[in-house]
Amino acid sequence: MAGRGLPMMQPQIILLKEGTDSSQGRNQLLSNINACLAVVDTVRSTLGPRGMDKLIVDEKGEVTISNDGATIMKLLDVVHPAAKTLVDIARSQDAEVGDGTTSVVLLAGELLKEVKGYIEDGVNPQVIIKGYRKAAQLAINKIKEIAVKIERTDDVQFRDLLLKCAGTAMSSKLIRSHKEFFTNMVVDAVLKLDQEELNEKLIGIKRIPGGGMEDSLLVNGVAFKKTFSYAGFEQQPKSFKNPKILSLNVELELKAEKDNAEVRIEDVSEYQSIVDAEWTIIYSKLEAIVNTGAKVVLSRLPIGDLATQYFADRDIFCAGRVPAEDLNRVVKAVGGSIQTTVSNVEEKHLGTCDYFEEKQIGGERFNIFEGCPATKSCTLILRGGAEQFIAEVERSLHDAIMIVKRCIKNNLIVAGGGATEMEISKYLREHSRTIEGKQQMIIGAFARALEIIPRQLCDNAGFDATDILNNLRMKHAQGALWYGVDINTESIVDNYEKFVWEPVLVKTNAIAAASEAACLILSVDETVRNPASEKPQSGPPMPRGGAQRSFRGRGRGIPR
């Protein structure tokens, strides 16, 4: 019985399904931070030119070797609900900018690590969130203020800028030893696109195992692997100048009747008329195609042996079962449109190109369309030893292509190698001294977190990080804006003068995404995990009436 003057304890009512796991409070917040730091430790060693690669084996046994942050995060199969936030920001950075995916994960983890002690000391997470949002906005504004704008007045100078930015993006990749070869290839590929649209999907990438990396080539047009061919294909011409190209989604072969098809006839001669009708239909289609004047016929659906021989006799090239992605790129490049019927095909439905050729590249044959007038397009054909190696080259080139694209659209650049992060860190540290209260500590923590980028670059290269960071702090305090880590000489250098350049968008997007992720994780103080749904029991089928007995007493009208 409660004593006089003491309030009676109210019973706690929890309206959750039995078996629900609920964790809350400061311990839950610290647990979420620890989970994120564990994920960050996985990708930490991949940052920079001396970063290591990760070998990941999925549940199917497929092997991936990569040091691309977004690829690693995607393949890690993170199950912790809070740590999945880091996977999301890596993907968003990859989709928006294309590079800086490892940096954004590292930065988010360091932001959480810096305030872990404050959480343990009882600082309210909302105070930290407020300070981080303020610091992130100050940092982004400062980056835009110090950024250097490259005017596109001289095409040669502008191309040189693109080469420098692409080279910086590749310096941390597997292909850094062939950086000069691939930077030229990437810049040429992006400059071949329509400069207003800059649709990177019009840059096709094909992989051919075998040969060396420098056997890779850039095709000024669309190229795709030779499709399955029937008898008669070898008699077809394999090259044309200024051909008309017809793209179809039509099947051009005699098909066996379906199992449930039924045709009733009363006379044997009627059977022959049915067979003749099938041949008449396909011949009328083939004749209609020939009458269009097309010299190259592509179809998403099969083109059979009858059609192949028919086209060969009339000096027409055909390819069936063309992958949808390749056929769409061809149509965008050569013009015209994909037809679902061969009736009423007009001149406007046909495309054209300067030159078509079927060509042997390595161990594969490729169909190549060059000089496409409708939309500028190109194809990168990559060579190399192992399949996993070529796949990593493709991921590296994708990052570089996205960086060059961003440079063309936003011609603001900053120096890389940790120079920008050190300058912003100095700026925030000075700003924090002008304010009072807890916000001074929080903004100071944000400033310290930014130093993780140059520190990790040093650690991955085997340098003395403490010594190099002290030298960088001294240089930036003296007003040396672009001093960062020099990987080649194990010292510090003006990275702007050394042409280690990155688009502003890489830095601003990374800081914004990392701070938002950190604030999101700090704002969670409870995790409610629903129990897994019970699987139905296996066994003999339920007898009649079993459903009624299983719901006994749960509803009106159900017999006991």
**What type of residue is 290?**
V
Residue 58: active-site member: no
Residues whose CB is less than 8 angstroms from the CB of residue 123 and which lie 6 or more positions away in sequence, other chains included = 115, 438
Is the Cβ–Cβ distance between 416 and 500 less than 8 Å? yes
Residue 494: active-site member: no
Residue 385 burial (CB count, 10 A): 12
The residue annotated as part of the active site, out of 46, 64, 102, 168, is 102
The residue annotated as part of the active site, out of 399, 420, 486, 508, is 399
Total residue length of the chain: 560
End-to-end CA distance of the chain: 42
Cα pseudo-dihedral 106, 422, 509, 37, rounded to 10 = 10
Q: Is residue 363 classed as helix, strand or coil in its secondary structure?
A: coil
Q: Is residue 553 classed as helix, strand or coil in its secondary structure?
A: coil
The residue annotated as part of the active site, out of 46, 64, 68, 486, is 68
Residue 88: active-site member: no
Is the Cβ–Cβ distance between 487 and 81 less than 8 Å? no
> Which of left, alpha, beta for 33 (phi over 0: left; psi -120 to 50: alpha)?
alpha
**What type of residue is 532?**
A
> Any idea what DSSP says for residue 11?
P
Residues whose CB is less than 8 angstroms from the CB of residue 315 and which lie 6 or more positions away in sequence, other chains included = 236, 237, 295
Distance of alpha carbon 341 from alpha carbon 326, whole angstroms? 20
Distance of alpha carbon 284 from alpha carbon 252, whole angstroms? 11
The residue annotated as part of the active site, out of 46, 64, 71, 101, is 101
**What type of residue is 229?**
S
Closest by Cα among 326, 318, 324 to 246: 318
Residue 340: active-site member: no
Question: What amino acid positions are annotated as catalytic residues?
Answer: 68, 101-102, 399
